[in-house]
Structure 1
Amino acid sequence: MMKFSILVCDDSAVARKQVVRCLNECIDAEIEQAINGAYALELLRAQSFDLLCLDLTMPEVDGIQVLETIKTEKIECFVLVISADIQEKMKFRVIELGAIDFVNKPIDKIRMNDILHKFGIH
């Protein structure tokens, strides 16, 4: 059984650490980190990830651009948006772009577990 692979993308090291800690409490997975959207896309093109935990507000390449690129390039990957930008309009946009869910920062273990189970990620 291959280990589940997850990419955590956020320009804040503190936020990445929080998501990684939360994931580690929920699932035994290979977790990699990307400090920005451009690097996340590089990694996504180079190897396959089962799940991308994505922040929206990042310099240069933001989360929306990452989602658009994943869609355009047909990169196979579940995307969970974890962001403090929780406007309804934005929520609709990320779901429209194929994200499986939209969670407010900081994500907690219970919510993370629910999402992972709902999408058969565990």
Structure 2
Amino acid sequence: MPMLPIVIADDSLLARKLLTKALPPDWEVELSYATNGREALVLYRAGKAAVMFLDLTMPDLTGYDVLEALQHEDANCLVIVVSADVQPLAQARVRALGALAFIAKPVTPETVLSILKEYGLYV
């Protein structure tokens, strides 16, 4: 079975490391990292993102900008927003833009696993 291409898009190195550590250790994925929204879209367009973990607050293009771009491109990418902005308005906005799920920072392996299982991304 081919490895599932995953992008972790966050401008914080620490946040990228914490999210990487929160992924199931036996999950067969090919990880790519983006430090801003523009890099995330480049990776998506290169076929590197079947699933994208997306921060909302990034330089260059925000997570909202990325979600809008993916909508316009009729993207076949499952986006899980990972953000410290847990306001109901932010959560409603990302869902309206097509995000699959919302994880509040700091992430925990349990939260990540439960979302991956809920959407059939990890068995």
**Shared topology, TM-score over 0.5?**
yes
- Report the Cα distance in structure 2 between the residues aligned to 1:105 and 1:69, rounded to whole angstroms: 24
Q: Does the Cα contact within 8 Å between 2:6 and 2:48 map onto a contact in 1?
A: no
Structure 2 unaligned blocks of 5 or more: none
> Normalising by structure 1, what TM-score?
0.95
Which residue in 2 is equivalent to 1:70?
70
Structure 1 unaligned blocks of 5 or more: none
Query: In the TM superposition, what is the alpha-carbon distance from 1:4 to its structure 2 partner?
Result: 1.3
Note if 1:50 corresponds to 2:43.
no
Range moving further from structure 2, 39-48 or 111-120: 39-48
Query: In the TM superposition, what is the alpha-carbon distance from 1:5 to its structure 2 partner?
Result: 1.4
- Report the Cα distance in structure 1 between the residues aligned to 2:96 and 2:59, rounded to whole angstroms: 22
Note if 1:84 corresponds to 2:84.
yes
Query: In the TM superposition, what is the alpha-carbon distance from 1:75 to its structure 2 partner?
Result: 1.5
- Report the Cα distance in structure 2 between the residues aligned to 1:118 and 1:30, rounded to whole angstroms: 21
> Normalising by structure 2, what TM-score?
0.94
Which residue in 2 is equivalent to 1:17?
17
- Report the Cα distance in structure 2 between the residues aligned to 1:11 and 1:2, rounded to whole angstroms: 28
- Output one character per residue of 1:77-114: Cα deviation in whole Å (capped at 9) or x when no partner: 10000000111111000001111111111111111111
CA RMSD of aligned residues (A): 1.1
- Output one character per residue of 1:44-71: Cα deviation in whole Å (capped at 9) or x when no partner: 1111422100000011200000000000
Higher helix share: 1
Q: Does the Cα contact within 8 Å between 1:45 and 1:75 map onto a contact in 2?
A: no
Note if 1:107 corresponds to 2:107.
yes
Count of residues paired in the alignment? 122
Residues 30-41 of structure 1 mapped to structure 2, 5 A cutoff: 30-41=30-41
